[in-house]
Amino acid sequence: MTYSYYPGCSLHSTACEYDISLKAVSDVLGIELKEIKKWICCGASAAHQTSHLLALSLPAKNLAEIEKENMTEVLVPCAACYARFKTTKYELENDPELLQDISKIIAYPFENKVNILHPLEILSNGMSTKIKQYVKKDLSKIKIVCYYGCLLTRPPKVMQFDICEYPVTMDEILKNAGVDVLDWSYKTACCGAALSLTKTDIILKLINDIFENAIDVGADAIVVACPLCHSNLDMRQNEANKLFNRNYNIPIMYFTQVLGLAFGLKPEELSLNTHLTDTDELIKKID
């Protein structure tokens, strides 16, 4: 299996762990990722708050590049990029005039035919036996909760990803890898990552609620599929501790890192040592 690969800006910088662990897990499962040669930023939240045409043109420029490379499917691990790509595809499918405008803007006769996939989708579709087959390490001692955040599932008519208010895709994948996955109430609650750099006081309340519920149900770690959720939850625990007089020190891991551990890969191969919240104690539990 070969997919076109759009890492997005975060995975080349602050979320390098996601990029590294996704590639490591793909290697094990025989999934080949072919990075788009000259990809550009998708515009994220800043573009759609400023200009509708810009918000569609930036993802379309990348999708056009995939069409030029004669690929039909692209893997987009960042939930924010994934949402922008899916929104672009959806809106242009439903508005031929808009498709013409975008083609003019990106100077390419855009066909809008590329299928946009999140790694969770390819790992859930018929991969369960394969995942079970590659499990080498017993992870049943670690208890985790799966955090999906906003953009993977919302809005459902565009994303068409699982059940929007109660997704289970990541839970099922990690259960197949032998992890003890717990149920909780904050699967799709917003962590406010869009405001993390600008209105930090607001997001501290949101992440405090998320940590509180994760700890109440007995989780050792929160597992995510979005680099923005990750940095927001991983980096701001000390600030939440100060503001709410708490004592959080809960590892935030990408689902690809957990899968990698189950496949017997070493923590360094999955970049588990570069998070700001320490993962050492969690790793000791499985050694």
Partner 1 sequence: MEDLLHDSFDWDFANKVQVIAPQNINLCYQCKKCTAGCPIAFKMDYSPSQIIYAARLGMKELVLNSNTIWLCASCETCTTRCPQDVDIAKVMDAARIIARKEKFRPSVKEIPIFNKTFLQNIRIFGRLYEAGLTVFLKLRTGEFKKDLDLGIKMIKKGKLKLIPSFTRIIEINKMFSRIKKLEHTRI
Residues near partner 1, by CB under 8 A? 9-10, 12-14, 16, 38-41, 43-54, 57-58, 61, 101, 104-107, 150-151, 154-156, 164-165, 189-190, 192-195, 197-200, 202, 205-206, 235, 274-276
Nearest CA to 177 among 147, 135, 141?
A: 135
For residues 176 and 196, which CB has a smaller minimum distance to partner 1 in the complex?
Answer: 196
Task: Report residue 3 as tokens.
Answer: 């997919």
Taking the complex as a whole, the smallest distance from the CB of residue 149 to partner 1 amounts, in Å, to 8
Taking the complex as a whole, the smallest distance from the CB of residue 282 to partner 1 amounts, in Å, to 17
Taking the complex as a whole, the smallest distance from the CB of residue 67 to partner 1 amounts, in Å, to 16
Which phi and psi (to 5°) does residue 106 adopt? Answer: -90, 0
For residues 42 and 139, which CB has a smaller minimum distance to partner 1 in the complex?
Answer: 42
Rounded Cα–Cα distance for residues 22 and 37 (Å): 18
Other C-beta atoms closer than 10 Å to the C-beta of 126 total: 8
Taking the complex as a whole, the smallest distance from the CB of residue 51 to partner 1 amounts, in Å, to 6
CA-CA-CA-CA torsion sign (12, 112, 30, 228): positive
CA dihedral 106, 113, 87, 206 (to 10 degrees): -110
Taking the complex as a whole, the smallest distance from the CB of residue 287 to partner 1 amounts, in Å, to 22
Taking the complex as a whole, the smallest distance from the CB of residue 178 to partner 1 amounts, in Å, to 29
Nearest CA to 87 among 189, 194, 159?
A: 159
Nearest CA to 253 among 273, 231, 223?
A: 223
Say if residues 117 and 74 touch (Cβ distance below 8 Å): yes
For residues 52 and 141, which CB has a smaller minimum distance to partner 1 in the complex?
Answer: 52
Nearest CA to 24 among 34, 33, 15?
A: 33
Task: Report residue 273 as tokens.
Answer: 């040592």
For residues 123 and 151, which CB has a smaller minimum distance to partner 1 in the complex?
Answer: 151
Rounded Cα–Cα distance for residues 106 and 117 (Å): 22
DSSP H helices in the chain? 8-11, 16-29, 44-48, 52-68, 79-93, 96-106, 119-124, 128-134, 156-159, 169-176, 200-216, 227-235, 237-244, 255-262, 280-286
For residues 11 and 145, which CB has a smaller minimum distance to partner 1 in the complex?
Answer: 11
For residues 123 and 214, which CB has a smaller minimum distance to partner 1 in the complex?
Answer: 214
Taking the complex as a whole, the smallest distance from the CB of residue 159 to partner 1 amounts, in Å, to 9
For residues 76 and 262, which CB has a smaller minimum distance to partner 1 in the complex?
Answer: 76
For residues 1 and 276, which CB has a smaller minimum distance to partner 1 in the complex?
Answer: 276
Taking the complex as a whole, the smallest distance from the CB of residue 38 to partner 1 amounts, in Å, to 6
